Amino acid sequence: MAEGAESFLPEARDVESLREAADGCRGCGLYRDATQTVFGAGKRDARLLVIGEQPGDSEDTRGEPFVGPAGGLLDRALIAAGVDRDDVWLTNAVKHFKFRRAAGGKRRLHQKPERSEVLACRPWLLAEIAAVDPELVVCLGATAAQDLFGPSFRVTRSRGEILVAEEPEGLRVLITVHPSSVLRTPGDYRDAAFDALVSDLSKAAEALGAR
Ligand code: URA
Ligand code: SF4
């Protein structure tokens, strides 16, 4: 069982101090095979904080969240939804890339993080949410949503809704799917899957605009 990130948190809780400390995190086993910690990035006092699952291959190499194919799709969806990219903080539930090697090859294939790894990494996410103090959070997919609402939470039942979390208490959270799920949708249905993601994200834009 992972000991968790708690003991690696710095005293200063601004995002730069957090990012620096997260570089040295050994709170679970995922740091061993990954290249580096991929901490959140964006506007440090963003009104909207977006949570994905974990860095992918490109993110692990570059050290930044959402810079690969899923990130490209997310960018397009945010623009289509009218969300100002300059007012977003992007992060992940888990800060290290979990992967396995394709048979015989060098290719690194994404592996879903275990609940124990998500829980181990949770202190970083909570500290990040506290530091950025957004008006609204968007959870992209089950890993992020279950991190905030528990393991039996189902994205398909609540997507497009804004829920209120118990921890962090009172946090407003919009639920939607992960952009990778749109990329995996078969050709004929992909446009509809993209439009559905945009429609969910538009509710975030509306919620922010209404304030
Ligand atoms: N998928 C995620 O969940 N996060 C990233 O940063 C990239 C891909
Ligand atoms: Fe620490 Fe999270 Fe990386 Fe595990 S995944 S080592 S808890 S930063």
Q: What is the pLDDT of residues 172-210, one digit of tens each?
A: 999 999 999 999 999 999 999 999 999 999 999 999 986
Provide the domain limits for residue 57: 6-209
Q: Tell me, what CATH number does 194's domain have?
A: 3.40.470.10
Query: Atom of ligand 2 at shortest distance to CA of 8?
Result: 1
In our burial notation (b when 16+ CB lie closer than 10 A, e otherwise), range 1-38 reads ebebbeebbeeeeebeebbebbeebebbebbeebebbb
Count of the separate structural domains present in the chain: 1
Q: Is residue 1 part of a domain?
A: no
Q: Is the pLDDT of residue 211 over 70?
A: no
Q: Is the pTM of this model over 0.95?
A: yes
Q: Is the pLDDT of residue 86 over 90?
A: no
Which of 106 and 191 is assigned the larger pLDDT? Answer: 191
Decide whether any atom of ligand 1 lies within 6 Å of the 55 Cβ. Answer: yes
Q: What is the pLDDT of residues 64-74, one digit of tens each?
A: 999 999 999 99
pLDDT score recorded for residue 118: 98
Q: Is residue 28 part of a domain?
A: yes
Decide whether any atom of ligand 2 lies within 6 Å of the 122 Cβ. Answer: no
pLDDT score recorded for residue 207: 94
